[in-house]
C-alpha cells in the first residue's frame, strides 16, 4: 500500500521576510515621517521599476564591486533581455532623470523614492536579501550646501523617528583629479602586506584598492588603521568643497565624526561620503543610513554632465533600531506659506540654520538654495504662492537680522533674527493665504546691491 506524499510546507526565501501586522505601525510611522519631511524639503516623489537592464547597474555601480560580482539577482527574458532586480535605487533614479528629460527642467531636481532592493548576500541580523530603502537625491547642483542638506534631511528623519545616540561618519574620497594619486599610495602601502590580506582584499588590491578600506575582516581592519588617509590627498577644489560641507554642518549643529577611511562600497561616489550608525548598538556597527556625492554618474549613464548628491535610509535597519531603543510611535505635522531667500555664503549658512528653526516650530518654508539671484528666488516664491519672504544677505547675516517681505503688498521690514519666528506667526494669522502666481516680469523686488555678498 503506497503512502500519500507529504504536502510541502512553503517558507519565505532565505533573507526575505514578511512584514506582519504588529510591525506595520513602525512602517507607517517611517513613511509618514519620511514623506512629510520630503514634502517639507521640496523633494518630488518618483517610483522606478524593480527590474532594470542589468547593464544599468554594471555601468553605474562598477564591475569590480561586490554588488555586481556576487550579489545581483539577474534573469534573461524570453525576448532575450538581460535584466536585474535592482540592488540599489540611485542608478534607477538617474536613469529616470535622463530618460524623462529632467535635465531640461529648472535645476536642481530633487527626488524622493523608496522601495525594495535585492542583494544575494549572506543573510544575517540587519542584512537581508530583500530589503527596503528610502532615497533622497538632488541632481543638477554641486554647491556643498546640498551635501549638508542631504545629510541633514536623513539625520532629521532618523531623529523624528525617535532614534537617539546616532553618529554621523563623514569623509571625502576626492574626485577623478586627485583620487588616482590616493589609489597609488594605497597600493604602495599594501604591496608588502598582501599575504596578510583576506581573499577578497587580495582581489581588491588589483581591481579596486579603495574597497580594501571597507573590509570587516579582523586582519584587514587592523591594517587599515595605518593606511594613508584620503583627506591628505585631496586637491584644492575637493578640500575646499569638503571644508564648506563641514562648516555648514557646524552651523546646523549636526554632530559628525571625521572618518578618513570611509569609502562606501559603490564606485560612483565622489567627494563627500557619509554613514549614520547607532553608537550603542551591540556587535558590529551597521549603517542605518548612508550616501554621498556622485558627480559623474549622470554622464556615465549617457546623460548631460550634472553634479548630484544623495542619501539613503535602510528602512528595516531604522525600524530594528526603533525597536531596540523602545521608541514610542508618534506623529508629526507640517504647514506651508513662507519662502527663504539668501545671497552669499555667510547668508547660506545662516539660512540653513533658520530653515531648521522654522521646521521645529511647525512653519513650512520653501527655498531655492542653489540660486544666487535675489530676483530669481523671489520669482520662485511668487510662483509658489508664498505669503511671506524672508531675505538674508551678507549685511543681514552680519547684523543678525532678516528682511521680512509681504509678497502681496511688497512691504518690507527688518526684523531681529531672534524675533523672526514670532513675527512670522503673527503675520500668517493676519494674512490670507495666496495662490501661486503666474510669471510676472513687472514684479518689483529689492535691489540686489542692497544685499551684498
Q: Residue range 337-366: average pLDDT?
A: 89
Picking from 109-118, 208-217, 397-406, which range would have the lowest pLDDT averaged per residue?
Answer: 208-217
Could you tell me the pLDDT band of residue 444, with boundaries at 50, 70 and 90? Answer: very low
**297 pLDDT above the threshold of 90:** yes
Picking from 148-157, 174-183, 436-445, which range would have the lowest pLDDT averaged per residue?
Answer: 436-445
From the list 416, 395, 351, 415, the residue with the least C-alpha distance to 377 is 351
Domains present along the chain, CATH in parentheses? 21-178+234-324 (3.30.930.10), 336-450 (3.40.50.800)
**3 pLDDT above the threshold of 80:** no
Could you tell me the pLDDT band of residue 362, with boundaries at 50, 70 and 90? Answer: confident
User: How confident is the model at residue 126, as a pLDDT?
Assistant: 67
Looking at the DSSP bridge assignments, the partners of residue 166 are 278
User: How confident is the model at residue 438, as a pLDDT?
Assistant: 46
Residues 6 or more apart whose CB falls under 8 angstroms from that of 148 comprise 245, 248, 249, 252, 254, 352
| Percent of the chain topping pLDDT 70 | 88
**451 pLDDT above the threshold of 60:** no
Q: Residue range 35-54: average pLDDT?
A: 94
What is the C-alpha separation between 336 and 36, in angstroms, rounded? 12
Picking from 16-20, 82-86, 157-161, 211-215, which range would have the lowest pLDDT averaged per residue?
Answer: 211-215
**Mean confidence (pLDDT) of the chain:** 85
| Percent of the chain topping pLDDT 90 | 50
User: How confident is the model at residue 190, as a pLDDT?
Assistant: 80
Q: Residue range 61-65: average pLDDT?
A: 59
User: How confident is the model at residue 441, as a pLDDT?
Assistant: 44
Could you tell me the pLDDT band of residue 68, with boundaries at 50, 70 and 90? Answer: low
User: How confident is the model at residue 329, as a pLDDT?
Assistant: 82
User: How confident is the model at residue 189, as a pLDDT?
Assistant: 84
User: How confident is the model at residue 274, as a pLDDT?
Assistant: 96
Q: Residue range 9-29: average pLDDT?
A: 87
pLDDT tens digit sequence for 389-434: 999 999 999 999 999 999 888 899 999 999 999 999 999 888 777 6
Tell me the CA distances in angstroms from 23 to 26, 29, 37, 125, 248, one per residue in order.
6, 10, 22, 17, 37
User: How confident is the model at residue 65, as a pLDDT?
Assistant: 56
| Position with higher pLDDT, 262 vs 98 | 98
| Position with higher pLDDT, 54 vs 6 | 54
| Position with higher pLDDT, 35 vs 6 | 35
User: How confident is the model at residue 139, as a pLDDT?
Assistant: 97
User: How confident is the model at residue 199, as a pLDDT?
Assistant: 79
Task: Give helix 144-160 / helix 345-360 axis angle, nearest 10°.
Answer: 10
| Position with higher pLDDT, 201 vs 241 | 241
**307 pLDDT above the threshold of 60:** yes
| Position with higher pLDDT, 127 vs 281 | 127
User: How confident is the model at residue 450, as a pLDDT?
Assistant: 45
Could you tell me the pLDDT band of residue 275, with boundaries at 50, 70 and 90? Answer: very high
Return the C-alpha cell found at 55.
547593464
pLDDT tens digit sequence for 155-200: 999 999 999 999 999 999 999 898 888 888 888 888 887 788 887 7
Long-range own/partner contacts, residues 150-153 (CB < 8 A, 24 or more apart): 150/291, 150/309, 150/310, 150/311, 151/249, 151/254, 151/256, 151/274, 151/291, 151/311, 152/249, 152/252, 152/254, 152/352, 152/356, 153/37, 153/41, 153/43, 153/311
Say how many Å lie between the first and final Cα of the chain, rounded: 93
What is the C-alpha separation between 435 and 337, in angstroms, rounded? 10
CB 366 within 8 A of CB 339: yes
User: How confident is the model at residue 425, as a pLDDT?
Assistant: 92
Q: Residue range 286-305: average pLDDT?
A: 93
User: How confident is the model at residue 265, as a pLDDT?
Assistant: 64
User: How confident is the model at residue 447, as a pLDDT?
Assistant: 47
Amino acid at each position: 500500500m503506497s503512502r500519500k506524499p507529504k504536502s510541502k510546507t512553503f517558507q519565505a526565501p532565505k533573507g526575505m521576510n514578511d512584514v506582519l501586522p504588529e510591525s506595520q505601525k513602525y512602517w507607517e510611522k517611517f513613511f509618514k515621517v519620511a514623506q512629510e519631511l520630503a514634502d517639507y524639503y521640496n523633494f518630488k516623489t518618483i517610483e522606478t521599476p524593480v527590474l532594470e537592464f542589468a547593464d544599468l547597474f554594471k555601468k553605474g555601480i562598477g564591475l569590480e564591486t561586490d554588488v555586481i560580482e556576487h550579489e545581483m539577482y539577474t534573469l534573461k527574458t524570453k525576448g532575450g533581455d538581460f535584466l536585474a532586480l535592482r540592488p540599489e535605487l540611485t542608478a534607477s533614479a538617474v536613469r529616470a532623470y535622463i530618460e524623462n528629460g529632467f535635465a531640461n527642467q529648472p535645476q536642481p531636481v530633487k527626488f524622493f523614492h523608496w522601495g525594495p532592493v535585492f542583494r544575494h548576500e549572506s543573510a544575517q541580523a540587519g542584512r537581508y536579501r530583500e530589503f527596503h530603502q528610502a532615497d533622497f537625491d538632488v541632481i543638477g547642483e554641486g554647491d556643498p550646501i546640498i551635501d549638508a542638506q542631504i545629510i541633514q534631511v536623513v539625520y532629521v528623519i532618523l531623529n523624528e523617528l525617535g532614534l537617539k545616540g546616532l553618529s554621523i561618519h563623514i569623509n571625502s574620497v576626492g574626485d577623478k583629479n586627485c583620487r588616482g594619486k590616493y589609489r597609488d599610495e594605497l597600493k604602495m602601502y599594501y604591496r608588502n602586506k598582501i599575504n596578510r590580506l583576506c581573499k577578497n582584499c587580495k582581489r581588491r588590491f588589483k581591481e579596486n584598492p579603495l574597497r580594501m578600506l571597507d573590509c570587516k575582516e579582523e586582519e584587514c581592519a587592523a591594517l587599515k588603521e595605518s593606511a594613508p588617509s584620503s583627506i591628505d590627498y585631496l586637491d584644492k577644489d575637493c578640500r575646499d568643497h569638503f571644508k564648506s560641507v563641514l562648516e555648514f554642518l557646524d552651523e546646523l549643529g549636526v554632530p559628525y565624526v571625521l572618518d578618513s577611511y570611509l569609502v562606501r562600497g559603490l564606485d560612483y561616489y565622489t567627494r563627500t561620503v557619509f554613514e549614520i550608525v547607532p553608537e550603542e548598538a551591540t556587535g558590529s556597527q551597521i549603517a542605518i543610513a548612508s550616501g554621498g556625492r556622485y558627480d559623474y554618474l549622470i554622464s556615465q549613464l549617457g546623460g548631460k554632465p550634472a553634479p548630484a548628491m544623495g542619501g539613503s535610509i535602510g528602512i528595516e535597519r531604522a525600524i530594528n533600531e526603533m525597536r531596540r531603543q523602545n521608541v514610542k510611535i508618534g506623529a508629526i505635522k507640517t504647514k506651508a506659506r513662507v519662502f527663504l531667500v539668501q545671497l552669499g555664503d555667510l547668508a547660506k549658512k545662516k539660512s540653513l540654520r533658520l530653515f531648521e528653526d522654522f521646521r521645529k516650530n511647525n512653519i513650512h518654508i520653501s527655498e531655492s538654495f542653489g540660486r544666487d539671484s535675489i530676483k530669481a528666488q523671489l520669482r520662485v516664491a511668487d510662483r509658489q504662492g508664498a505669503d511671506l519672504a524672508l531675505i538674508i544677505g551678507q549685511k543681514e547675516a552680519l547684523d543678525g537680522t532678516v528682511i521680512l517681505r509681504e509678497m502681496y503688498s511688497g512691504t518690507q521690514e527688518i526684523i531681529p533674527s531672534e524675533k523672526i519666528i514670532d513675527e512670522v506667526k503673527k503675520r500668517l494669522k493676519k494674512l490670507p493665504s495666496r495662490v501661486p502666481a503666474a510669471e510676472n516680469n513687472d514684479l518689483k523686488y529689492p535691489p540686489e546691491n542692497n544685499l551684498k555678498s
